[in-house]
């Protein structure tokens, strides 16, 4: 599975996006660096946190990529480098990766909301049980 990790400036922060292309589509995950990361910071990130980013990318929903015809022609390496730089300057993130990130964010939001409701219900039950215990103790004169 070919994958790419792209670091670019988005708004006030530097963001890294990991795109994993599979047979059925693209999965993506992002990491916000904050200030512009240097080579040492990127190396430390890869050594320490890249595994978690990879796991979250693999857990993200797969988004189908619209069929783009791949051109397989021999291109001068310098021209290829210029084209790649131009493409990165104009569009740092593929639309399939953006859609994959949006879906993953949406799914995690649903899961977080359900977990928050469950925690709130458990806390309410615990408060009710504590209030009942206190009322019984007051009734018994303790």
CA angle, corner 46, sides to 88 and 79, nearest 5? 25
Domain membership of residue 112 (yes or no) is no
The string of pLDDT tens digits covering residues 41-66 is 888 888 998 888 888 888 888 887 76
Domain extent at residue 33: 1-68
The string of pLDDT tens digits covering residues 83-97 is 888 877 776 566 777
Number of domains in the chain: 1
Domain membership of residue 84 (yes or no) is no
Domain membership of residue 49 (yes or no) is yes
User: Encoding tokens for residue 131?
Assistant: 């209030």
pTM of the model: 0.48
The residue whose two tokens read 């615990």 is: 126
Residue 48 host element (H or E): helix 39-48
Which 3-state string (H, E, C) describes 85-129? Answer: HHHHHHCCCCHHHHHHHHHHHHHHHHHHHHHHHHHHHHHHHHHHH
């Amino acid at each position: 599975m070919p994958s790419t990790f792209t670091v670019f400036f988005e708004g006030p922060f530097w963001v890294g996006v990991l795109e994993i292309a599979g047979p059925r589509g693209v999965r993506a995950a992002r990491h916000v660096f904050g200030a512009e990361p240097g080579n040492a910071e990127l190396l430390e990130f890869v050594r320490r946190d890249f595994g978690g980013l990879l796991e979250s990318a693999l857990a993200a929903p797969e988004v189908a990529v619209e069929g783009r015809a791949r051109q397989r022609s021999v291109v001068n390496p310098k021209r290829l480098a210029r084209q790649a730089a131009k493409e990165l300057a104009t569009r740092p993130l593929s639309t399939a990766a953006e859609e994959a990130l949006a879906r993953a964010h949406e799914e995690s939001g649903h899961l977080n909301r359900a977990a928050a409701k469950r925690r709130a219900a458990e806390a309410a039950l615990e408060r009710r049980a504590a209030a009942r215990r206190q009322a019984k103790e007051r009734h018994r004169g303790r």
